[in-house]
């Protein structure tokens, strides 16, 4: 966790919402110079901070509405700090809570050098990252429909299992396998929605691939050199990382990717782990998938996995492999080197 500790003459804390935002501006002595509610638009914001533009820093909590404010501050040359929502527990404490109180708390944390920082993702690749996340969301919805078809087969105990039905040519006559008209209709609807998803996902992937080759083709190619990381895995990792240099150490990266657990201790006693929701869930998914695919048709990797399984059990062994892949990706991108499996398994 990093804190913003630079000193300024004025500190602006904003409790940001879709239509309204509450701004609190403190001076270097901690006295309130401006504290009011306003419309969520650039004109109102710039008018509010105009008397303090000589040396001001702006902070807001990392919620879904921060994009426009970060871009505006960058355009206007105003330092902007994005507060980490899960770390900012001081905002959520207290007997009373409202927008006015929250905005002052943000400004006070900012002035005291105690506001935990979240990464302000640059505008250049941010929209494509969100498009990639949308693609993965739609793919999960498609997978739910495929799973429902397989579950319905089990519900009616059909003689023949459907097997793999991910591709249209593998599905055969799924509707005709059932007798009841309501079940037939349910399967027909599922297949139609899946066909729609297939067209949309194919178009999305082509668009994202074009953008990836324009944004960072070197890193994209390096990621695909890892056995088990294909196009989608490489795109997910590429856009969730953005720039590997923002992680000073490999420990920072694997922690951000949720590949390690954080121990809770007090007075020499251990209370398990914490912080499971802090980090990037998309990177966690990508490396967990990569660990499974890394073993597919890869005999040296399977032997390595067997040794880990004997020592730690299958579940923990897969977590160790995902962690090891995360560390390898960090150094690959940092040093601009392709993946070396012999070195990786040594």
Look at residue 82 and give its three-state secondary structure: strand
Cβ-Cβ contacts under 8 Å for 288 (sequence gap 6 or more): 318, 322
Banded model confidence at residue 49, pLDDT cuts 50, 70, 90: very high
Percent of the chain with pLDDT over 90: 86
| C-alpha to C-alpha distance for 232 and 286, rounded to whole angstroms | 9
User: Does the pLDDT at position 90 exceed 70?
Assistant: no
| C-alpha to C-alpha distance for 137 and 154, rounded to whole angstroms | 26
pLDDT tens digits, one per residue of 132-154: 999 999 999 999 999 999 999 99
User: Does the pLDDT at position 313 exceed 90?
Assistant: yes
What's residue 144's pLDDT?
A: 97
What is the residue extent of each domain of the chain? 10-118, 125-215, 247-345
| C-alpha to C-alpha distance for 302 and 294, rounded to whole angstroms | 9
User: Does the pLDDT at position 87 exceed 70?
Assistant: yes
pLDDT tens digits, one per residue of 245-268: 999 999 999 999 999 988 888 888
Of residues 81 and 262, more confidently modeled? 81
Averaged pLDDT of the chain? 94
Banded model confidence at residue 89, pLDDT cuts 50, 70, 90: confident
Question: Do 9 and 21 contact (CB within 8 A), yes or no?
Answer: no
User: Does the pLDDT at position 232 exceed 80?
Assistant: yes
| C-alpha to C-alpha distance for 210 and 198, rounded to whole angstroms | 19
CATH topology of domain 10-118: Nucleotidyltransferase; domain 5 (3.30.420)
| C-alpha to C-alpha distance for 211 and 163, rounded to whole angstroms | 35
């Amino acid at each position: 966790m990093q804190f913003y500790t630079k000193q300024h003459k004025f500190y602006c804390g904003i409790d940001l919402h879709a239509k309204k935002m509450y701004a609190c501006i403190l001076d270097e002595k901690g006295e309130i110079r401006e504290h009011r509610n306003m419309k969520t638009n650039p004109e109102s914001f710039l008018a509010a901070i105009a008397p303090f533009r000589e040396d001001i820093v702006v902070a807001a909590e990392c919620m879904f509405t921060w994009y426009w404010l970060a871009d505006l501050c960058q355009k206007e040359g105003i330092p902007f700090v994005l507060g980490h929502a899960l770390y900012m527990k001081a905002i959520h404490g207290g007997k009373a809570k409202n927008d006015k109180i929250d905005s002052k708390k943000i400004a006070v944390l900012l002035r005291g050098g105690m506001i935990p920082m979240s990464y302000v993702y640059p505008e250049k690749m941010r929209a494509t990252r969100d498009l990639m996340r949308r693609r993965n969301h739609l793919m999960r919805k498609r997978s739910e429909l495929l799973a429902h078809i397989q579950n319905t087969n089990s519900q009616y105990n059909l003689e023949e299992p459907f097997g793999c039905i991910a591709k249209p040519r593998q599905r055969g006559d799924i509707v005709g396998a059932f007798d009841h008209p309501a079940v037939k209709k349910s399967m027909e609807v599922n297949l139609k929605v899946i066909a729609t998803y297939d067209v949309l996902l194919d178009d999305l992937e082509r668009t994202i691939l074009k953008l990836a080759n324009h944004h960072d083709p070197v890193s994209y190619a390096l990621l695909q050199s890892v056995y088990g990381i294909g196009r989608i895995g490489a795109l997910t990792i590429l856009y969730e990382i953005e720039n590997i240099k923002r992680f000073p150490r490999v420990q920072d990266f694997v922690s951000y990717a949720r590949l390690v657990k954080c121990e809770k201790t007090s007075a020499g006693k251990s209370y398990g782990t914490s912080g499971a929701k802090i980090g990037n869930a998309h990177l966690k998914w990508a490396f967990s998938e990569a660990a499974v695919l890394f073993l597919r048709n890869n005999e040296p990797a399977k032997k390595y996995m067997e040794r880990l399984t004997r020592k730690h059990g299958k579940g923990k062994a897969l977590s160790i492999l995902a962690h090891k892949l995360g560390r390898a990706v960090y150094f690959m991108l940092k040093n601009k080197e392709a993946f070396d499996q012999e070195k990786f398994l040594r």
